[in-house]
Structure 1
Amino acid sequence: MAAVVVLSLGLFSLRNVWPIAQVSAPGSTTALHFETRHGEQLSRRLPDNSVLHLNTDSAITIRFGKTERLVTLTSGQADFEVAHDPERAFRVFAGSAEVVAIGTKFDVRLEHDSTVVTVVEGRVAVGPSPMLERLGTHSSQNHSPRFVQLGADQQIRVAADEWPATPTAVDAQRTTAWLHRQIVFDQEPLERVAAEFNRYAPKPIEIATPALRNLEISGVFATDDTEAFIAFLRSLTGVRVEVTMTRIRVSRDPGVAAPDYT
């Protein structure tokens, strides 16, 4: 049984995009580092005129050289609006993946066992990180293509032990809804929804009744409005939500006849 909610939310952007004060001289190398804490997001305009959007709990280092722009995402999620520069490829290293672009817009998210790349505009090339071959996880002798080309509204998941990977069609605007401080679900199990909310919420959501983990949720929610999500859960038949000082506990209400959510 699916539970559906759509909240009417005014779209509002991230922080203002501030220019970097120090720009490197031609031929030199500039290194920049940005981090966000839990629930925080930021946007920055980079020296090459690209724009970086960084999601919650993320860390990134960017080095601008004469022949290429090197980006290392060490945690979290980032969205890139890459300024066109055919003389300097824009290369992103994130977990098990390497992404190469010249001028495009794409999103990179690090997950515990893989790296997810989503293209919003233009095209990028995605392949396993060269570090995997050095570690013996991926071998160039397996005759797999080094890179796979992705276009707009395509996504690929790169795992350390699985290559080549196959791109899939997605709604890139849904994937990047976090840029407007929103998360979008379409018949997603509550367990996954709670995990996504926990990336932003000050108190973790805990599902105490295993059967509720499969409760399907659809809707648009604000990442910074956990109270609205709690109110929605409380509106569901047979669902009880308890808010303590340290967590949000979701369980089945024993006093109410509830649908079978399994």
Structure 2
Amino acid sequence: MLGEVKMITSISVDNKEILDTFWADSGLLPVVAENNTGISECNGKPSTFSNFCPEVTFAYFGYYASYLTKYADEIDKDSGHRIAERESLHNDWRHEWAHISACHFLECSSYNQVHDFNSKGISKFDKLAHDNVVALIYRMEQCLEINDPSGALHAAANILETTAKDIMKSEKIQDQTLGSFIEKYKTESNLPDDIKEVVEKIYNLRNRMPLSGHGSTRKPNMNIYDAIVIAATVKFIVEIEYRSRTI
């Protein structure tokens, strides 16, 4: 969203589709429109940020807040500045903002929901997934830690291929690439159809991306934000595949 208003670099269209699909199936999206995260503009510039994660607002604005709004006009701005100067508080938000709603992440209404979503059955997951899948997930996480998006994508594609082979239980495909048996995998997978398409998109992206698949002298055109989206999506996909087999 911040990328859409040109405040930061936008994630790619493909990764946005992957992320949208992930959140749509997570059950975590707001039911009431008033709870949606939003950005309002004034005179063509972003002015109000509503229902934001406080971790995000701190990362980009320096304040833990769920709501921030700019001054409506110069009169209000001058008034706010005078108050800030008179009180002389360190890092006073009134130098830039007309109003903010302070919010620690533990006070965020979505925190407990997301925490529960992320922690469901984590202790059992390592036992459900193949050892090679678990090892590759660790490798993918390490790539994120060292800011290696291409490496994370490479590991992500290997995770999907290894998971597919483990799910299908066929010796005939063990030495084949996922691309060669993707249609058969889609038939046998328990994933929703939209997510199956995401699997193929991630795998195909690996094949095209320099430093991720085949050798290339070109520079990769993905960033760490893209890699984070892909990594989260892959873990989501893997968990669905393995947990659905236990039902």
| TM-score interval, smaller chain | under 0.3
The two structures have a TM-score, normalised by structure 2, of 0.23
Q: Which has the higher helix share?
A: 2
Higher relative contact order (CA 8 A, sep 6+): 2
Q: Which has the higher strand share?
A: 1
